[in-house]
Amino acid sequence: MEAYMQRGIPVSPGIAVGRVYVCEGGRDLRHQVEHTTAHDFETEWLRLQDAARRADRELAKLVEEVRAELGDAEAAIFESQRAILRDGAVEKEMREILERGGVSAEKALASVIEKYGRMLGSAHDEYLRARAADIRDVGQRSLSILLDEDQDALIAREEHVVAVAREVIPSRLLGLLKQKVAGVVTDRGSRTSHAAILCRSYGIPAVTGVTQVLDKVSLGDTIALDGSTGEVWVNPDKKVLDELCRRRQERSVLWQELASKKHLPALTKDNVRIHVNANIRIFRDAHTAVAAGAEGVGLFRTEFMYMNARNLPDEEEQVSAYRSVIQEIAPNPTTIRTLDLGGDKMPRGLETPREPNPFLGLRSIRLSFKRPDVFKTQIRAILRAAESGPTKLMFPLVTTVDEMKRACDIVEQAKRELKQEDLPHDPNVPVGLMIEVPAAALMIESMMAVADFASIGTNDLIQYVQAADRTNPQLVDLYDALAPAVLWTIKHVVDGCRKAGKAVAVCGEMAARPLGVLSLIGLGVRELSVGTSFVPVVKGIIRSLSCKEMTRLAEKALRLDSGAEIEKMYHDVLMQIAPWAEDVA
């Protein structure tokens, strides 16, 4: 048995060792329906509708089971699958295929599901790519009903195995996790996939992005993985197993220490306070953020309320949703970002013509300007909800000062309307912008003459500064958070905000990465917003460093010409002050 190690993308922390179990998740639906036969339209249409109803009942039961065991956030995964079943556009396409005649219900279902799966799977946006698995999961559930297959029969019956698959769909994974599978390794997936979320909720170590893993394992092999580093070993030797045992013991002690201090302020060794906030998508995330020790919400991504709804949410629905989050987070502040839609994210009711380059097209604030009715409704809702606690309003992807002025004018219009209508609201909500476009970064001093604060969205800023699509694996070296041009851009923004006496935060993934934390604090950033699970870790890193030393390092980094040189410099320092961070962040 040949031994080897491969590195993938860490998605759920922890160490697992077990025998290989090859899971068939991600099967091509079309191959399963090749030999099905068609009856008349009415018969096939009734079969399809019956399968959808039965699948919905199964999912409803699953929602309640998951809610009781894990909570609302995880239950929402399967609630979103019920929404897919009820999607009128999907149903319409399947009916049209059947009406042409000579096609079975199974083939109509497989055709439409595979089409939407491919569309989402090729999306630029990571969140939408991750939703492709949900589409396939719903399709597989309905198809199993049509074929009279027992889905559970395909699930492992043995414990203490590591599931290895091309991709694991959420419901199949849930079955595996319930049977105490030790870990999960997949070829395809992402940190934002629902499968990854379930692994983290159950505390199951998982690694994805392990290229062609199915071709490299056999039944009977032993496989080990470290879900914190992304390392995967097939047939590991005693030396590797001993090392993994040592890591497991060390991390257990470390997590206990981080958890014991998560609600304390993050102070550097030279007593500089760094505020650590959380990025959230839905109300349920707010409770998780408070429990993790977040000092506020630095980014409330409101577009997910639209993406998961059958119709555009009205003003009252939005007021209720925003108020719930604000009250949960109070007395700490909640920063609410207006719709960051467009590109590949477009809910029903906001459709626009397909664009050749959507990420340089009609998206975010640009789309909001094209739909002033939707834009103003959201602004009114935020202003009304803000009466419940400290709130900030933030616009995404602002490019020009004129855009910022225009957006602020709409805020003022909304305030006047609410006053005339005698509706309670907060007229003093601070209004800021995301710095994601180089043009906005270059004009930061003029922007700060209009805005009350800024938040640097590094995910988009890096790809626009470097002209490198962050979803393209061939450009991974160019999409570099520590590239000199990126650091200089961030420094320019921080200096401009400081000169104007305005607050500036960072809310992209860079703020959650250990080397990113070191560089950002050295560049003068004093407020970070990260995923809730990263809050205790980021606070721990901050307590390990000296702000004065990070400032000196940042000055040195800005004199270097290579992102690789900068990364090595910061990595060497991290190994001196917080070597544990590399394993858990």
Q: Which of 194, 275, 287, 425 is catalytic?
A: 194
Check if the beta carbon of residue 250 is closer than 8 Å to that of residue 291.
Answer: no
Q: How far apart are CA 254 and CA 121, in angstroms?
A: 37
Calculate mean pLDDT across residues 545-555. Answer: 98
pLDDT band at 36 (very low <50, low <70, confident <90, very high): confident
CA pair distance 289, 446, nearest whole angstrom? 34
The tokens describing 474, both together, are 């061939």
pLDDT at 79: 79
Once rounded to an integer, what is the mean pLDDT over residues 545-553?
A: 98
Lowest model confidence (mean pLDDT) among 309-318, 376-385, 496-505: 309-318
Is residue 194 annotated as part of the catalytic site, yes or no?
yes
SS3 76: helix
Q: Give the model's pLDDT for residue 577.
A: 94
- For 151, other C-beta atoms within 10 Å of its C-beta total 15
pLDDT tens track for 489-507: 999 999 999 999 999 999 9
Torsion of CA 540, 546, 551, 557, to 10 degrees: -70
Mean per-residue pLDDT over the chain, rounded: 87
* pLDDT score of 333: 98
Which residue type, as a one-letter code, is found at position 243? Answer: E
How would residue 143 be classed by pLDDT, with cut points 50, 70 and 90? confident
Rounded CA separation 53/37 (Å)? 22
The larger pLDDT score, comparing residue 314 to residue 112, is at 314
Asked whether the predicted pLDDT for residue 422 surpasses 70, the reply is yes
Q: What string of DSSP letters covers 513-559?
A: SHHHHHHHHHTT--EEEEEGGGHHHHHHHHHHS-HHHHHHHHHHHTT
More confident residue, 220 or 512: 512
pLDDT for residue 154: 45
**The pLDDT value given to residue 569:** 97
- In the predicted structure, residue 332 carries a pLDDT above the cut 90: yes
DSSP-derived letter for residue 345 is B
Task: Write down the pTM of the prediction.
Answer: 0.72
Predicted local confidence at residue 29, as pLDDT: 57
Token pair for 89: 């556009």
Q: How far apart are CA 111 and CA 213, in angstroms?
A: 27
State how far the Cα of 110 lies from the Cα of 28, in Å rounded to an integer: 9
**375, 369 in Cβ contact below 8 A?**
yes
- Which of these is catalytic: 23, 199, 497, 507? 507
pLDDT > 60? residue 173: yes
- Give the separation between CA 558 and CA 554, rounded to whole angstroms: 6
pLDDT at 294 over 70: yes
- 492 labelled catalytic: no
Domains of the chain, CATH where assigned: 4-25+154-251 (3.50.30.10), 29-147 (1.10.274.10), 262-584 (3.20.20.60)
- Give the C-alpha distances (Å, rounded to integers) separating 241 from 161, 204, 236: 16, 18, 7
pLDDT score of 300:
96
Judged against a pLDDT cut of 80, whether residue 480 lies above it is answered with yes
Residue from 456, 507, 484, 451 nearest 560 by CA: 484
What pLDDT is stored for residue 21 in this prediction? 86
